[in-house]
Amino acid sequence: MRILLTNDDGIHAEGLVSLEKIARALSDDVWIVAPEYEQSGASRALTLSDPLRVRKAGPQRWSVEGTPTDCVMMAVRELIDGAAPDLVLSGVNRGQNIAEDVTLSGTVAGAIEGMALGIPSIALSQAVRIFHDEAVIHWETAEHFGPGVVKRLIEIGWPKDAVMNVNFPARPPERVDTIEVTRQGFRDSHVRTAEKRTDLRGRDYYWMGFTGELSDPAEGTDLKAIYSGRISVTPLHIDLTHNEALHRLKGLLGGVPPKA
């Protein structure tokens, strides 16, 4: 099995080291194409107004001065010799990618680009625990469970127009004993914030971040699974149609266009 690895935290990220361990537990034909610099929050951005510069970082390993989407496209179209990958793994992200955050995630976007190119793709993320104002991240949890989860997903299979979004909880491996197939949740509180600061010249600027506030999610969601210490596996697709609204509008807005 030929596996392509990418991420949004960059070519030097700790999570990419963990992802390579996961991939090499499954295959010895592993290719890595990741952003030169961190691209967290880049979503499905594609670089159109600047040149894409590529750096050879080792055998079957490149960095791209672009987004995760750029990386997967360049890997499949230009950089990998011979056959296309059989699988794209994106991650392991530093922090969970769940609920509405999946629409911002460069990690999920890397998997979506693989899917768009006809390759089964999985996004993997490791949740972070804040302890005494410091981030504690158990990479060993993703490394321990990742190979088995990926292997089982490949055995089961999934639709060609979907990607698998796997999140590991912020616990050490010995405290994780359950995996749950979940739906995408939606937080009932606003967790993103902009902190106003002042530079040394007296000019204001803003730093985007997260409050860390937990919501009260429903059972069966990715949020609830991660909060409860379970591995979450969510099938995602990019059809954003709201079907309930679609059917309602068809009965109210179809036909002759309304007048002002």
Per residue in 48-102, pLDDT tens? 999 999 999 999 999 999 999 999 999 999 999 999 999 999 999 999 999 999 9
pLDDT at position 215: 79
Residue 85 lies in a domain: yes
- Which structural domain, as residue segments, surrounds residue 122? 2-185+215-253
Query: In this structure, is residue 80 part of a structural domain?
Result: yes
Share of the chain above pLDDT 90, in %: 86
Asked if the model's pLDDT at residue 4 lies above 70, the reply is: yes
Residue 191: predicted pLDDT: 67
Annotation: binding site: 8-9, 40, 93
Q: Considering only 8-17, 72-81, 103-112, 129-138, which range has the smallest mean pLDDT?
A: 129-138
Q: Is the pLDDT of residue 2 over 80?
A: yes
Contact status, residue 66 vs residue 97, Cβ threshold 8 Å: no
The structure's pTM equals 0.93
Q: Is 123 exposed, middle or buried (0-12, 13-18, 19+ CB in 10 A)?
A: buried
Q: Given this model, what pLDDT does residue 39 score?
A: 95
Please, which residues have CB within 8 angstroms of residue 213's CB and are 6 or more apart in sequence? 189, 191
Q: Would you state the pLDDT for residue 194?
A: 86
The answer to whether residue 207 sits within a structural domain is no
Residue 135: inside a domain: yes
Asked if residue 208 belongs to a domain, the reply is no
Is residue 197 in some structural domain?
Answer: no
Q: Looking at the 3D structure of the chain, how many domains does it have?
A: 1
The pLDDT tens digits of the residues spanning 164-214 come to 999 999 999 999 999 999 999 998 766 678 889 999 999 999 988 776 677
Assigned domain for 99 exists? yes
In CATH, what number is assigned to the domain containing residue 226?
Answer: 3.40.1210.10
State the amino acid at position 139 in one-letter form. W
pLDDT of residue 212: 67
* pLDDT at 162 (0 to 100): 98
* pLDDT score of 260: 85
Mean pLDDT over 22-29 rounds to 98
Asked whether residue 175 is assigned to any structural domain, the reply reads yes
Going by C-alpha positions, the residue among 84, 69, 88, 73 that lies closest to residue 22 is 88
Residues forming the annotated binding site for a divalent metal cation?
Answer: 8-9, 40, 93
When mean pLDDT is compared across 10-24, 113-127, 180-194, the lowest value belongs to 180-194
